[in-house]
Chains A and B, each alone.
Chain A
């Protein structure tokens, strides 16, 4: 009675608005793929449950919300993700005492109330690390090329599916557009990282 996985069909249906099969796949992947592996690694049900949730959250974010291309062997890839999550989990326990700056919505709005034209003034003034992060995000986005900015605007602000926008953007396939999107997001992270290094900003707890 092993569950028969068909991840491509599950995602394809989900992207067309029918989530049931994908939800079932995720639940079954948790039980049949992740928990057995993680129980062997941790020896504890509560640890295995927590790490499995980390994997599924990341999997969901990457392949459903951010629409990254699916790996060819999804269940095998979940095993890789479980190994990584186990490592993160042990690191997280070590870092629990570390102090982070917490992003606060009120503070964010206060910064942006004054508008993007005042970025330089903000940078020169006495502003907090979290405010700087938001400004850096804005300015890093502005440094991307036109193609990246257009793609990300359609994907992020207009909330459109890659299968619906690739032709508008002049890509031969949704896969090609998705690869480009990953490149753009990585470029944005890189620009942010470089600025964070230069400004020596502390991280925040996500």
Chain B
């Protein structure tokens, strides 16, 4: 007779497949997997049960994910085993669908992801440069740029664009000009003005005095 694992082990293994273990549990789990053949076999067997049950649920409820929820007063499906296994008609498909849905390749969400990356990059530059690595002295230019950025309101983006363009025209500091340019790119992207955003990315990528010229070139490539 094969020994079945206890509930505590089963709970840990189930949480492992749910991606739910904390760092210390994960470390212990890894150690047991590598050093305890019996535990490793239990994990494999549990994985089979976990996958079968999950795919059964996911394939049945896949219409939910596409928004085609059955009306609550519809008659329930019977528990006929034929229908049960229609459940598994979409079996392998369901995980793949969800996977590719969010893989971020080859669909319209790509651009949104790139926009978000641009936004994050701008935030990072703003954090590093505007705070001046903790310096207490703030120049007038720095203060002015902070003021423009803090006052940014998506509903009044034209005013911010105007202020940023004026700032760039008057500033002597390439670092601040660079940050201001990235903010302008962000605002254009938020407004859906792709051509304008690309023009500025091109200008940055062609400007050797900007530290971010390579990054701008990368984003430009992705957007094209």
CB contact under 8 A between A60 and B14, given known A133-B48, A196-B48? no
A residues 82-97 near B (Cβ < 8 Å) are 83-85, 87-88, 91
Q: Is B113 an interface residue (CB 8 A)?
A: yes
Residue of B nearest to A80 (CB): B22
B residues 1-28 near A (Cβ < 8 Å) are 2, 4, 10-11, 14, 16, 18-23, 26
Expressed in whole angstroms, the Cα–Cα distance for A91 and B63 within the complex equals 31
B88 cross-chain contacts in A, Cβ below 8 A: 103, 105, 108, 134
Please determine whether B77 and A2 come into contact, CB atoms closer than 8 angstroms: no
Q: Mark A172-194, 1 if CB is under 8 A from B, else 0.
A: 00000000000001101110111
Please classify how large the interface on chain A is, using the bins under 10, 10 to 19, 20 to 34, 35 or more: 35 or more
* Secondary structure class of chain B's binding surface, majority of residues: helix
Q: Is A204 an interface residue (CB 8 A)?
A: yes
Residue of B nearest to A118 (CB): B81
Please determine whether B81 and A204 come into contact, CB atoms closer than 8 angstroms: no
Expressed in whole angstroms, the Cα–Cα distance for A42 and B83 within the complex equals 43
Most B CB contacts (10 A, CB to CB) among A17, A27, A201 go to A27
Q: How near does chain B come to A76, taking the closest CB pair, in angstroms? A: 11
B53 cross-chain contacts in A, Cβ below 8 A: 137, 185, 188-189, 192
Please determine whether B45 and A112 come into contact, CB atoms closer than 8 angstroms: no
A84 cross-chain contacts in B, Cβ below 8 A: 16, 19-21, 26
Which of A103, A136, A189, A201 has a CB less than 8 Å from the CB of B92?
Answer: A103
Residue of B nearest to A153 (CB): B76
Which of B48, B61, B74, B92 has a CB less than 8 Å from the CB of A156?
Answer: B61
Q: Is B223 an interface residue (CB 8 A)?
A: no
Expressed in whole angstroms, the Cα–Cα distance for A53 and B21 within the complex equals 18
Residue of A nearest to B33 (CB): A91
Please determine whether A137 and B56 come into contact, CB atoms closer than 8 angstroms: yes
Q: How near does chain A come to B124, taking the closest CB pair, in angstroms? A: 10
A185 cross-chain contacts in B, Cβ below 8 A: 53, 57
B residues 168-224 near A (Cβ < 8 Å) are 186
Q: How near does chain A come to B208, taking the closest CB pair, in angstroms? A: 25
Please determine whether B26 and A158 come into contact, CB atoms closer than 8 angstroms: no
Q: Mark A69-83, 1 if CB is under 8 A from B, else 0.
A: 000000000001101
Expressed in whole angstroms, the Cα–Cα distance for A72 and B219 within the complex equals 35
Please determine whether A65 and B64 come into contact, CB atoms closer than 8 angstroms: yes
Q: Is A116 an interface residue (CB 8 A)?
A: yes
Please determine whether A83 and B48 come into contact, CB atoms closer than 8 angstroms: no
Q: Mark A58-69, 1 if CB is under 8 A from B, else 0.
A: 101110111000
Expressed in whole angstroms, the Cα–Cα distance for A55 and B24 within the complex equals 19
Beyond A3-B116, A157-B79, A160-B69: 16 further Cβ-contacts under 8 Å?
A: A2-B123, A28-B116, A31-B113, A31-B117, A64-B64, A65-B62, A84-B26, A105-B89, A112-B82, A153-B76, A156-B56, A156-B57, A164-B72, A190-B49, A193-B45, A197-B42
Q: List 12 A-B contacts (CB under 8 A).
A: A3-B116, A17-B67, A30-B113, A61-B58, A103-B88, A134-B88, A153-B79, A158-B70, A158-B77, A192-B52, A197-B4, A206-B54
Q: Which residues of A contact B (CB under 8 A)?
A: 1-3, 17, 19, 23-24, 26-28, 30-32, 49, 53-58, 60-62, 64-66, 80-81, 83-85, 87-88, 91, 103, 105, 108-109, 111-113, 115-116, 133-134, 136-138, 141, 153-161, 164-165, 185-186, 188-190, 192-194, 196-198, 200-204, 206
Q: Which residues of B contact A (CB under 8 A)?
A: 2, 4, 10-11, 14, 16, 18-23, 26, 30, 33, 42, 44-58, 60-65, 67, 69-70, 72, 74, 76-77, 79, 81-85, 88-89, 91-92, 95, 98-99, 101-104, 109, 112-113, 116-117, 119-120, 122-123, 186
